[in-house]
Structure 1
Amino acid sequence: MAPKRGNAAAAQAAAARSVSPAPPKAAAPTPPTTTTTATTTATPPAVTPKTNTGPGGAQTWDRIVQNLLAHYLDTTPQRTKLLDAFMAFLVAVGALQFVYCVVAGNYPFNAFLSGFSATVGQFVLTASLRIQTTEANKGDFPAVSPERAFADYVVCSLILHFFCVNFIN
């Protein structure tokens, strides 16, 4: 009588488990190969943000600011510097109005809104005058003389303040 298949498979599996594995063979040294792979993945070097806390970092920022200031003072005409100073004054006044509104309250809200809009409007008009009177922009405004630009600035400023005063009531 022939053994059943299930018993024969179990017997083979048991025999395979009982046989001890052969000792591993020592690997023969492989000769160096000259083939290279065509695709390589290049990882970029780690980028660390530069701070001014390192040696010379603060001096670098100081030199940049000094160079910018020196270039501005040397190349900017006196009229443009005056307009820039007035624009800085308008930014400071607008910031003070906003801080006052936050700290003290905005009971007459239309007064705050009128004053703040006058400051912002005057800043925009002054920026427009600065753009029109800058020598580098002469090609963009060929028909506008500096006197005409200033006259437009004065008229628009009067209209702006007329509306702001009327908004207060």
Structure 2
Amino acid sequence: MPPKGAKASSSAATKSRTSASPSSSSSTQSPLSTLYNSYVDNTPKRLKVIDAFLVFLMLSGMIQFLYCALITNFPFNSFIAGFASTVGQFVLAASLRIQANPENGQTFPKVSPERAFGDFLFGSVILHFFVFNFLG
């Protein structure tokens, strides 16, 4: 049998849970809509553009992979070059998003968003030189 103090604290916890549940049940929004609304309200426009580019790169890579797997991979060097370009560009864009996010100012104190974009452009040019060279 539990001590009397434990029983009282357990009933207090139950009361606090039941009092919290009506306020949470009155909210009819799903977690996804809450996440979407928070993203739209709190994310700067600059990061939304980078996110759209990341989604485009992800879809492009998936289409390339499905095309190679389902239809043909005849010019295999072209597939490898295109897929490597997509994956490399995704990694560079994700790095840009991390460095350009104002909430990460503590992590990257010496990197301004303009510097991060310059690094992104430089990395993209180097990446595409390698991709172009791989095409043969």
Question: Per the shorter chain, which TM-score range?
Answer: 0.7 to 0.9
Aligned pairs, how many? 111
Do residues 160 (structure 1) and 131 (structure 2) align? no
Residue 88 of structure 1 and its aligned partner are, at CA, apart by: 0.2
- Tell me the TM-score normalized by structure 2: 0.78
Give runs of ≥4 in structure 1 deviating > 2 Å.
none
The aligned residue for residue 63 of structure 1 is 30
- Tell me the TM-score normalized by structure 1: 0.63
Structure 1 residues without counterparts, runs of 5 or longer: 1-35, 37-59
Distance 1:112 1:62, change over 3 A: farther
Do residues 93 (structure 1) and 60 (structure 2) align? yes
Give the SS at the match of 1:105: coil
Greater RCO (Cα-Cα under 8 Å, separation 6 or more): 2
Amino-acid identity (%)? 50
**What do the CA deviations read for 1:129-160 (whole angstroms, capped 9, x no partner)?**
00001011101111111111100100100000
Give the AA of the match of 1:146: P
Do residues 111 (structure 1) and 58 (structure 2) align? no
Structure 2 residues without counterparts, runs of 5 or longer: 2-26
Radius of gyration: which is bigger? Answer: 1
- Answer 1 or 2: which has greater helix percent: 2
Residue 61 of structure 1 and its aligned partner are, at CA, apart by: 9.6
The aligned residue for residue 6 of structure 1 is none
Do residues 146 (structure 1) and 113 (structure 2) align? yes
Give the AA of the match of 1:76: T
Distance 1:62 1:95, change over 3 A: farther
